[in-house]
Amino acid sequence: MVSKRKRLAATWLLLGAAAAPGLADVFSSEFFSVPVSEGWELLNQYCEPELWIDEGWYHQQLDLDACPPGPQGGHDSYVRWLTDFNGEPQFFLEFRVQTDGDRSEIPGGAPSVVAMGNFFGVVYHVTVARDLVQFLRDLDLPIWFIEIERGVPHTYRIELYPDRYAFYIDAYLIDEGLPEGPFPAHDSLITWRGKSWYLPCHNAWDYIRYGVIPVDASGDYDSDAEIGLDDFYFFQECLANRRPGINGGPGNDAGPGCRFADFDFDDDVDLHDFAEFQLAFTGGE
């Protein structure tokens, strides 16, 4: 039997040519290859996590088998600095993950976490268990706990403006208000991890994306003033509406992640929008 660790190495070789889209003002990790090859820096990895890639999903199997009894079992975490986005007035973070980790793991920062913050105290911290999400901005502020459907992946999105932040789950607005401070700013970063605290878990990551919020109805997802193949990669995702939590498609609310694809401002993404996208297409990346 081939181990999952060996399958990961083999998959990396097979998919090495299938890099994630190279974008201008958006960083997009689509997990066609291992995180470090898609631009993430390995932060921590211990207790022998089992890691593999399957059709664009990055899997983490985390337990306590290689460690003493909890807390602190398997761990796999990554980081990227946001220096290139310092001072950006309209910024988003979006990720899609599914986990079978228990909600009792949340106090230990498990089973799956995506967080962004800086050394001036601005924090946006999302912890996801199989049926519960914790959204934390500051220990002095209310902490949100949101029930979610278990057994399916969900899409999480944070949008930041100078006078407003908004947190969405599956395109539904969960929380909004005044930000604690500008972000991204000096020494800002994004980290994400899978972790076993007392109990094992299996996390599957579909993607992690962040960058400049594209202009509504522009078709220009990567904000590079061109409408190219990279933009089509994300446009067709909104048009096909094949994944729960990614709205769009005929007759569906385009949602915050697909407003760039709604050319006629009718709140969905359909063939009328595709026709406009074709007219706007300039070619290239």
Token duo for residue 1: 């039997």
Please compute the mean of the pLDDT values over residues 159-183 and round it to a whole number: 95
Token duo for residue 92: 């988003």
pLDDT of 245: 47
Judge contact between 240 and 221, C-beta under 8 A: no
Judge contact between 269 and 259, C-beta under 8 A: no
Residue-wise pLDDT for 139-160, tens only, equals 889 999 999 999 999 999 999 9
Residue-wise pLDDT for 57-91, tens only, equals 999 999 999 987 778 899 999 999 999 999 999 99
Q: Which amino acid is at 202?
A: H
What is the rounded distance in angstroms from the CA atom of residue 38 to the CA atom of residue 75? 19
Token duo for residue 129: 């268990």
Between 253 and 255, name the one with better pLDDT.
255
pTM assigned to the model: 0.89
Judge contact between 124 and 175, C-beta under 8 A: no
DSSP letter (8 states) at residue 131: S
Judge contact between 255 and 166, C-beta under 8 A: no
Task: List, in order of start, the domains of the chain with CATH numbers.
Answer: 4-212 (2.60.120.200), 229-280 (no CATH)
Judge contact between 162 and 91, C-beta under 8 A: no
Q: Which strands sit side by side in the sheet containing 132-136, from one edge to the other?
A: 41-46, 75-81, 189-195, 112-117, 123-128, 132-136, 144-147
User: How many of the other CB atoms lie within 10 Å of CB of 222?
Assistant: 25
